[in-house]
Amino acid sequence: MIQQYLKSIFSNQGFSKYFSNTAWLFSEKILRIFVGLFVGVWVARYLGPDQFGIFNYAISFAGLFTTIATLGLDGIVIRELVRDDRKRDVLLGTSFYLKLIGALLTLILIAVSIQFTNNEEITNIYIFIIASSTIFQSFNVVDFYFQSKVLSKYVVYANIASLTISSILKIGLILVEAPLYAFVMVFVADVVVITVGLLYYYVKQNLKISNWKFERSVAQRLLKDSWPLILSGIVISIYMKIDQVMIKEMIGDGAVGNYAAAVRISEAWYFVPMVICASLFPAIINAKDRDELVYTKRLQQLYDFMVWISVVIAIPMTFLSVWIIDLLFGKEYADAGNVLMIHIWTGLFVALGIASGKWLVNENLQKIALYRTSVGAIFNIALNYILIQKFQIIGAAISTLVAQIIAAYMFDLFHNKTRVTFVMKTKSLLFVSLFKKILQYGR
């Protein structure tokens, strides 16, 4: 299916390159799903809903701030590298130092903010340890280079090494009956291994980190383009993570554990739209420069594909959710089944949001990305406050779904610069391309 989709977008000459890149990314993510589910479920069963809830609360709380460390640079730097890779060392060096500053700022903000929570001291320590991983993630600018060159196999190698080591460590911790603190440390170790792997393969390409340079003018230009994405990323973190934070405050640790179990299954496939969009982003940029009609056609095909894969996954999961949760997590997590039944449909609009997010960057409409995610976050927080009280964790799932529909789809209708993409998304949701083919076949 993926191969046919890529063939419909690219010429025969370019197909092999992009399909190979996408295949590498998919292979790693599929492996991560199977290994992650096996080990992740084992960890959840071992910790139980309360401890598992604390662990996921710490990750979610840290996640509210760690987006700051990215500074919204990812898509911007990749775009610049694709357009002119002669500036590689300046772009990577400047973005590295900017991300490092962002990481330190993140830690300061978290250190201050946890003082105003009602958490136990140990929970706040977990939050700070998890957030410290952002320092190592500053080196992940290397990933930008690999993406711009469509060389994702090196990213895959690093991720597989990280997955293998962290899985072995987690299994070992379960067998020796280690405390929650040890699993928090493995979370950081996972990031460190990925960072070391990326740097190793970068150097292996006969490239030198010592050549990285910081230029103030480049930093100013990058931040000028990325500042809406910084705020947008913060807002995205809020409406993707705030549900678990609010559940803990309004219900308790066990409820967070049940909700996190459902979300872990629901979000397991989110790598699919991320991988496809990351792999095709350079081609979409090139298409805009050459032919606007081809550019528009590729975007429509991308939206169509996002809808297809989302629906194919969501429909069976809707009917099998309770059985899947019981099979994987056991009776302790029984409340997660109904949450999964609703939350799985969030992926449809997440996929459309990821694809249109790339389009916004390519059109230099980052401010609009900020506006639409802000609207989604406001709706999510408001609905969480109302629905969690009334429907418990099912209310949180409903809130997340509605917020995604508003942010990733409905918002585009009300802005003149995004109305064109609203029409394209609507065509995809209504399967217009499919019906056209059926009509053509009938003739």
Pair 333, 255: CB distance under 8 Å: no
Nearest to 49 by CA among 331, 340, 317: 331
- Span 217-234, average pLDDT: 80
Section 168-177 average pLDDT: 94
Amino acid in the structure at residue 305: F
The full set of domain ranges for the chain reads 2-442
Q: What is the DSSP string of 307-323?
A: HHHHHHHHHHHHHHHHH
Q: Which has the closest alpha carbon to 75: 271, 239, 278?
A: 278
Are the CB atoms for 230 and 71 separated by under 8 Å?
Answer: yes
Taking the C-alpha atoms of residue 216 and residue 211, their distance in angstroms, rounded to an integer, is 16
pLDDT at 216 over 80: yes
Query: Considering the entire predicted model, what is its pTM?
Result: 0.75
Is it the case that residue 121 has pLDDT exceeding 90?
Answer: no
How much of the chain exceeds pLDDT 70, in percent?
88
pLDDT in tens, 405-425: 999 999 999 988 999 999 999
Q: Is the pLDDT score of 113 beyond 60? A: yes
Q: What tokens were used for 185?
A: 């440390």
The predicted model gives 122-145 an average pLDDT of 88
Evaluate if residue 3 carries a pLDDT over 60.
no
| Cα distance between residue 111 and residue 255, in whole Å | 26
Asked whether residue 285 carries a pLDDT value surpassing 80, the answer given is: no
What tens digit of pLDDT does each residue of 74-91 get?
778 877 787 777 788 888
What pLDDT does 348 receive?
95
Average pLDDT on 297-326 reads 91
Residue 124 has pLDDT above 70, yes or no: yes
- Which residues, at least 6 apart from 24, have a Cβ–Cβ distance to it below 8 Å? 152, 153, 156
Task: Identify the pLDDT of residue 383.
Answer: 95
H-type alpha helices, 205-270: 216-250, 253-266
Query: Letter for the amino acid at 291?
Result: D
